[in-house]
Structures are given as structure tokens and as C-alpha cells.
Amino acid sequence: MPLSKKRIGIVCPYGWDTPGGVQSHVGDLAEYLIRQGHYVSVLAPAIDEENLPDYVTSAGRPISIPYNGAVARVLFGPIAFARVRQWINNGSFDVLHLHEPAIPSISLLACWAAEGPMVGTFHAAAKRQKVTFAVAPILEPVIEKLTARIAVSEAARETLTEHLETDAIVVPNGIYADRYRDGSIDKRWTGNTIGFIGRFEEKRKGLDILAAALPAVISRYPDVKVFIAGPGDSEAALKEIDPSLHSRFTFLGRISEEEKANFLASVALYIAPNTGGESFGIILAEALAGGASVVASDIPAFDSLLGHGQYGTLFESENSADLSEKIIDLLGDEGKRRAIAQRGKLYAQEFDWDVVAEKIYDVYEMAMVGGSTVSLSSENRAWNKFLGR
């Protein structure tokens, strides 16, 4: 990055306290930029305002709304709008980076409130009928205010093009690849083992698809085990799984980054049976970096991330029979597993923050051409129209 240090404001639309890909991306990006000497302030909804990182300002408590097959914890309304304006006014930012500005959130409020260099990152990938654009009639002219647009994948870019008839530069989500590169083998997770990380209670994460594939796998590999890491109610999840399979599942709860690296280095296969609603798949990039042999559904985002099967194994989405065939084949061929995993590990370096942050900063520089800075807009007709004034 250039020696010129900038004041960068980043808006995260989702509750900072809730684990999620966007929150992780924003936090990692902010910390990377701070280490490069830039001043960074992040605005985000938060429930626990006392334990936020120094660089995060709370915009208030989020509320839960259904969005894209999950529950999004966002913040919207006139009180939030006032807080957004105050943060922008006090920030003296050279550039504003708004994540998911196309949903009712503080990112959209910031887009309404500000003028000057603004970059929008679009994470969502979904079919038109599934996207919750509650402010669709006034959204397009607001998004036109963005100086530059980023999509985290081709799937996200296509969603943006379909909904708002605009385009974006594709820059993937970032990971710290080195955190996962040197994971240690943990014998608890070795053997004919399957790993899964995520919010397993969400239907779109596909745990039921994996469970349905398991009987066929067991018939060939009677000792197969499934280890699941991530937040959620394991007892509730087991109620949805055939009782005869319960002994196969071990729920680990949340695991640390060090444990995650060891986990990914140890399991025979990492399975991502997601059914949709994914725009990128940070955990897949992390799994590749950790040296796991990945098996994932062929939804567009995963197909793209895995190089159409070059860096991981794809199965037909929601087809448990196809998943079981892929698992059986790979468990029976260690050489094939290792070859795929090695290709994926090398490829994962493309998602390292040293690479991704430079690309994002290049977009910032494009937005900052001309030397203007971020200021409050005196034009808020879009907001007044939304309020019915």
C-alpha cells in the first residue's frame, strides 16, 4: 500500500456480536488497514457495546429480520439515521466503505447520508424472488451515489446486475491463510472422519443433506464419524436426524482459530453441503488453506471458489446420494484426497489478506481520485420519501 495514510470509514450492516462472514471480513479488513498505518473506524449495530474493539462504534442494538434464507440482525430507522450522520460528521473520512448497502441497514442509511468517495461491497447472492429489497422503488438512485462497487464473487456480481442493473469489480473475501497453513494433526479427528463448520441449525447449511448421505457411507466405512463445530443447539439438531445415526455425530461447539487449523488439518474430508444463499464461502477458503480435502455442493458461489472442481470436489446440491458417492470415493483413495488438498492449499493463498486488501485499497484509490473527502449530504429526499413525507 502507498505511504499516504488515509482516514477510512467502514460500515458493517449486521450485528457485530453475531458470528458471520461479513462481520469477519469487516473486522479482518479493518485490522489489516490499521496495521498499515491507516486510521479506520467501523460503524456497526451491537448488543454488547462495552466489549467492542477500539475501532468499532456502536450504531445501536440490532433487530432480527428474515433475509436470504437466514436471520439477519440489522438496524434501520430515524434514530439509527441520526447516529449514522453523527459518525460521518465526526469521522472526516477520505473514503467510506459500505457493506451490503442494498438492504435496509445502516449501510443504506450511510449511503443516503453521505457525499463523496464511497465504495460499496455486495456480498449477497440469491434469486430475485428471494431477496428482501424492502426499499426497491428508491434503491437504485441511492446506489448510484456509490463511486465504486465491489462484489465478493461472480455470484454476488450477477445478483447485483440482475437486481440493480449495475456492475462491480470482483474482489473475494479475505482470510489469513497463514493461520491455517501449519495446523497440527489431532488424533481425535483423524481416520475416516468428516468435518463440518458453521451455524448448523440453519436449514441452508445443509446438515440434513449430510445426514441423509451417511447411511450409504457407513455401509462401506462402518467407522466413519462426523465432527461438527460452530454455534447452535446440538440437541435440537439431533432431533432432525435419524436416531440410529446419533452416535456418529460429535458437536464441538465454537472452536478457536488454533483449534480450527488443527481440525482442518486432521479430518479426512471437509464437507460443505450448503443449499444456497452463499455468495462466497469464507470457511471453504479457510478449509483449503488448512489443507483439507473439500467436498462442497455445486451452488454457484462454491463452484466458482473451487475452480469448477479443480481445488475441491463438487456434488449436486441437495442430492445426498451424489454426496455419499463422492465421500465413499475419496475415503477409499488417500492419494486422490491428498492431491486435491495440496492444490487447494496453494490456491488459497489468493485469498490471503496481503493480496485481497491490496485489491480493495486499489478500489479506494479509484474512488478517491479528485481529492474530495466524505461529507454529509444536504439532499435527503430518498429518506423523506421512505418516511412518507
Here the CATH number for the domain that contains residue 187 is 3.40.50.2000
Same domain, 330 and 366: no
Domain count, the chain: 2
End-to-end CA distance of the chain: 45
The answer as to whether 327 is a domain residue is yes
pLDDT band at 138 (very low <50, low <70, confident <90, very high): low
- Please, is 346 exposed, middle or buried when counting C-beta atoms within 10 Å of its C-beta (0-12, 13-18, 19+)? exposed
Provide the pLDDT confidence category of residue 133 given band limits of 50, 70 and 90.
Answer: very low
By the 8 A CB rule, do 345 and 181 touch?
yes
pLDDT for position 70 = 65
Which structural domain range is residue 274 located in? 177-350
- 327 and 271, same structural domain? yes
Same domain, 147 and 212: no
> What is the rounded distance in angstroms from the CA atom of residue 71 to the CA atom of residue 54?
27
Of 151, 56, 78, 24, nearest to 389 by C-alpha is 78
Exposure of 388 by Cβ count < 10 A (0-12 exposed, 13-18 middle, 19+ buried)? exposed
Q: Are residues 332 and 382 in the same domain?
A: no
- Among residues of the chain, what percentage have pLDDT more than 90? 76
Does 331 score more than 60 pLDDT? yes
Strand order in the sheet with 294-297: 249-253, 225-229, 193-197, 269-272, 294-297, 313-315
Q: Is 92 part of a structural domain of the chain?
A: yes
Q: Do 237 and 341 have their domain in common?
A: yes
Q: How many other C-beta atoms can be found within 10 angstroms of the C-beta atom of residue 381?
A: 11
Q: Does residue 127 lie in a domain region?
A: yes
When pLDDT is cut at 50, 70 and 90, the band that residue 271 belongs to is very high
Q: Looking at residue 102, what is its pLDDT?
A: 87
| Domain match, 184 and 70 both | no
Collapsing DSSP states into helix, strand and coil, what is residue 182?
coil
139 vs 282 pLDDT, higher one: 282
Average pLDDT, whole number, for the chain?
A: 91
Say how many CA atoms lie within 13 Å of 128 toward its Cβ. 6
**2: in domain:** no
Phi then psi for residue 41, to 5 deg, are: -125, 130
Whether 130 shows a pLDDT value over 80: the answer reads no
Interatomic CA distance for residues 260 and 272, integer angstroms: 15
Question: Is pLDDT of 243 > 70?
Answer: yes
**pLDDT (tens digit per residue) in 159-207:** 888 877 789 999 999 999 999 988 999 999 999 999 999 989 989 999 9
Cα→Cα distances 65→62, 197, 235, 255, Å: 10, 24, 25, 27
Per-residue pLDDT band at 106 (split at 50, 70, 90): very high
Residue 131: predicted pLDDT = 43
Give the pLDDT mean for 116-130: 79
User: Is there a single domain that holds both residue 269 and residue 367?
Assistant: no
The answer to whether the CB of 27 falls within 8 A of the CB of 43 is: no
Residue 240 has pLDDT above 70, yes or no: yes
d(CA 151, CA 280): 10
Residue whose entry in the numeric block shows the C-alpha cell 468435518 = 195
Contacts of 241 (CB under 8 A, 6+ apart): 207, 208, 211, 249
Indicate whether 229 and 311 sit together in one domain: yes
**What pLDDT, on a 0 to 100 scale, did the predictor assign at position 277?**
80
Assigned domain for 78 exists: yes
Which of 105, 296, 123 lies closest to 198, judged by CA? Answer: 296
Q: What is the pLDDT of residue 139?
A: 73
For the whole model, what pTM was predicted? 0.86
pLDDT digits (tens, 9 = 90+) for 32-49: 999 999 999 999 999 999
Residue 369 within any structural domain of the chain: yes
The answer on 160 and 17 residing in a single domain is yes
Same domain, 285 and 380: no
Task: Decide if 110 is inside a domain.
Answer: yes
Most confident residue range from 15-19, 28-32, 198-202? 28-32
Residues 226 and 306 in one domain: yes
Question: What is the helix (H) or strand (E) element at residue 147, kind and residue range?
Answer: none
Residue 4: its pLDDT value, please? 83
Task: Evaluate if residue 59 carries a pLDDT over 90.
Answer: yes
Residues 335 and 356 reside in one and the same domain: no
Q: Are 253 and 236 in contact (CB under 8 A)?
A: no
Angle (nearest 5°) at CA 29 between 25 and 35:
150
**1 falls within a domain:** no
Per DSSP, the residues of 50-68 read: TT--TTEEE----EEEEET
Is residue 12 very low, low, confident or very high in pLDDT (cuts 50, 70, 90)?
very high
